[in-house]
Amino acid sequence: MDSHKNHVPVPVPSEAASTWRDALMLVTDEFEAPPVILRLDDSIIGTLGNFSASTGKAKSKKTFNVCAIVAAAMTGGTVLNYSASLPPGKRRVLYADTEQSEYHCNRVINRILRLAGLPTDVHPDALVFLCLRKFATKERLKMIEEAIYEIDGLGLVIIDGIRDLAHDINSPCESTDLITKLMRWTDERKIHIHTVLHLNKGDDNTRGHLGTELNNKAETVLQITKDDFDKDISFVAASHIRDLDFEPFAFRINPDGLPEPVEDYQPPQAGTPKGFDYREISEAKHREALELLFSEADRVSYASLIGKLQSSYAAIGYSFGINKAKQLKVFLENKRMIIKEDKAYRYNPDFHY
């Protein structure tokens, strides 16, 4: 169980400056396609040297879904529609939980082992689990990095709660630095990292600038959503995917406390979106509309904000009904493009889209 502590550690990389020669590539260079380690039906979800993510709102059962991914990786089989195949010499899994108590982390371990069909009275060498809730933000990040570089035979890393590795998820600098670390870790250690990040409460966008960076750089982003008509069911769809899309599937928690597939599930029909999609309007157009809105007054009350949003966006070519304007208001506030102070809103020109 503790064999991962007894070998000579691989040095964690320094932050020494690189030169342009480190990035030089020639047409004659040859590279092998990265090994596929995780599939969902015929779709590629994860490859070594890349990272992916699960997103969803609170209580959408994101961790249950991730447990199925880990169980599939540990068995090299299929669990809850996920099929995994870690190559020889890279079959160990590191699971870092930043959010839950020790009691609940232990339940996650137990759930993974039961899904994998493994005994729960002995801890498998293939699974290294870190419970990081009690540590400071910088310590969490440092401990994960050390584990990634020191654990022999590592193939898959789960970071359940990547938000807790950053002080401010709306900081462009901090978010970019964190995503850059993920890209460096996966490239240098030839592993796959799967992260978990919450969605905004008011819409279906990932939280903060960290969420935007994750969407832009991840190989796959899975979205786990509770069914509106049956709260016992959660369904999984691709929010972003580089490979072919897959058919959404659903699962429920059975009497044994384990996720199981829901057969013949029909996902909710696409209709009016629940939230405002950041891809709908460019950053420049948002700035134009908001500068117009706040040109007459620095502060705008909520009572007049929705109407002023409709007017200012209509002036630049976007006409919204009142419901869509309310979704827009939630989106702007989540992205810190507008900030509420007391009972009024002000424009924040320093937002990062």
> What CATH number is associated with residue 193?
3.40.50.300
Residue 259, pLDDT score:
94
Cβ-Cβ contacts under 8 Å for 199 (sequence gap 6 or more): 55, 56, 57, 205, 206, 207, 211, 223
120 and 31 share a domain? Answer: yes
**Positions in the chain whose pLDDT score sits under 70:** 1-16, 200-207, 229, 267-275
Residue 17, pLDDT score:
74
Give strand ranges (E) for 23-109: 36-40, 43-47, 51-56, 78-79, 82-84, 92-97
CATH number of the domain at 330, please: 1.10.10
Q: Which domain holds residue 45?
A: 3-261
The DSSP result for 191-218, as a single string, is: -EEEEEEEBPSSSSSBSHHHHHHHHHH-
Question: Is 9 a member of any domain?
Answer: yes
- 233: part of which helix (H) or strand (E)? strand 233-241
Dihedral of CA 201/219/154/8: which sign? negative
214 and 310 share a domain? Answer: no
199: which 2 tokens? 């969605």
- Tokens 């396609």 correspond to 33
* pLDDT tens digits along 207-230: 577 888 888 899 999 999 988 767
Backbone angles phi, psi at 92, to 5 degrees: -95, 150
Residue 10, pLDDT score:
57
Three-state secondary-structure class, residue 286? helix
